[in-house]
Amino acid sequence: MQTAPEPTRDHCSRRTSSAARALLLALLAASLAACVPPNGPSVNPNTPPATPAPAATPAVAKAPDKGDFKVATRPPDPDMTAEEKKDYDEEIKSLQETADALNKSFSLPHDIYIGFDDCEEANAFYDPEKKKVTVCYELAEDLYEAFKKDYKTDEQVEDAVTNATTFVFYHELGHALVDAYDLPITGREEDAVDQLSVLLLADGTPEGEQMVLDAAVSFSKQASGELDELAFADEHSLDQQRYYNIICLLYGQNEEKFASLVKDGTLPESRAQKCSDEYARVDKAWDALLAPYTK
């Protein structure tokens, strides 16, 4: 969620729960289905076909592919038990599959690393110096606590956590792409990469759309009633604003399918009226920004 360099860590100082590892492995499996297809994020099968472009429209010049998504490995921990080693090996394998899928979609100017780590805080980062996306195990643990009151079974809670964490992974991936391509973002980058995460995940499949919904709910849960000046000064929109922005894009992507969001009062009518245009605008913008870099 932040672009600040990662904090210094002691990899051996804290044992991550195997539950958090399992959740993040599920994240990878789920996110493989959500990778960017050949023509960028505008992939929703429910989106009406665009007006055919005139034949004379020049093709977008494609950037050369000079880098890859790579798995960020950690130094071997001599104290790892056999079970932890097995979990770690599975984690690396899943990360590699995610990297492979991303490499099929994007041309990069340099390598970008993706990985999970203990961060001693519930967060996720893109580090522009190391060119590295990190999702913290603590984030999954934190979300588990936040969601566990809402569901009857562990499996349901884990699904919600996986979904919300996947959204965060794509948000951080968005920061990495903005940096890699030096994309001209107007407005706040934090909002822009939230939008990208919605565009990538809300692909018309129930699974992808549920990820977006669960992510929105996770922001609503993080919203605190009392806000201090630092919250207003923050580079991120307020959590409750992120919630409505995400819900609005989901609704705007398919008003008929998500009509219940307005009917049940989740999304106020006054905002809902603008969401279709809002979705079309951000979809067009990201499509144009990423066109030179998608394979």
Minimal CB distance to Zn ion: which residue?
1
Min CB(73)–Zn ion separation in Å: 24
Rounded to whole angstroms, the Cα distance separating 290 from 1 reads 21
Which of 231, 167, 160 is CA-nearest to residue 194? 167
Say whether residue 1 binds Zn ion (CB under 5 A): yes
Min CB(175)–Zn ion separation in Å: 5
Min CB(101)–Zn ion separation in Å: 22
Strand partners, 117: 136
Cα 34 from chain centroid?
10
Q: Which of residues 271-290 bind Zn ion (CB under 5 A)?
A: none
Residue with smaller CB distance to Zn ion, 1 or 249: 1
Say whether residue 23 binds Zn ion (CB under 5 A): no
Min CB(29)–Zn ion separation in Å: 23
Min CB(3)–Zn ion separation in Å: 6
Reading the block at residue 111, the tokens are 């390598």
Place of tokens 């009633």: 225
Q: Which of residues 173-202 bind Zn ion (CB under 5 A)?
A: 190
Q: Which residues of 6-17 are buried (b: 16+ CB within 10 A; e: fewer)?
A: beeeeeeeeebe
Number of H helices, E strands in the chain: 10, 4
Q: Which of residues 60-99 bind Zn ion (CB under 5 A)?
A: none
Residue with smaller CB distance to Zn ion, 42 or 197: 197
Residue with smaller CB distance to Zn ion, 21 or 132: 132
Q: Which of residues 220-249 bind Zn ion (CB under 5 A)?
A: none
Rounded to whole angstroms, the Cα distance separating 202 from 41 reads 10
Residue with smaller CB distance to Zn ion, 88 or 167: 167
Strand (E) or helix (H) holding 112: strand 112-117
Residue with smaller CB distance to Zn ion, 142 or 190: 190
Which of 60, 31, 64, 51 is CA-nearest to residue 203? 31
Residue with smaller CB distance to Zn ion, 1 or 176: 1
Place of tokens 């980062």: 125
Residue with smaller CB distance to Zn ion, 1 or 198: 1
Min CB(125)–Zn ion separation in Å: 8
Min CB(126)–Zn ion separation in Å: 7
If binding means CB under 5 A, how many residues of this protein chain bind Zn ion?
Answer: 2
Q: How far is CA 116 from CA 75, 89, 139, 187, 262, in A?
A: 13, 12, 10, 29, 37
Interface contacts to Zn ion, rule CB under 5 A? 1, 190
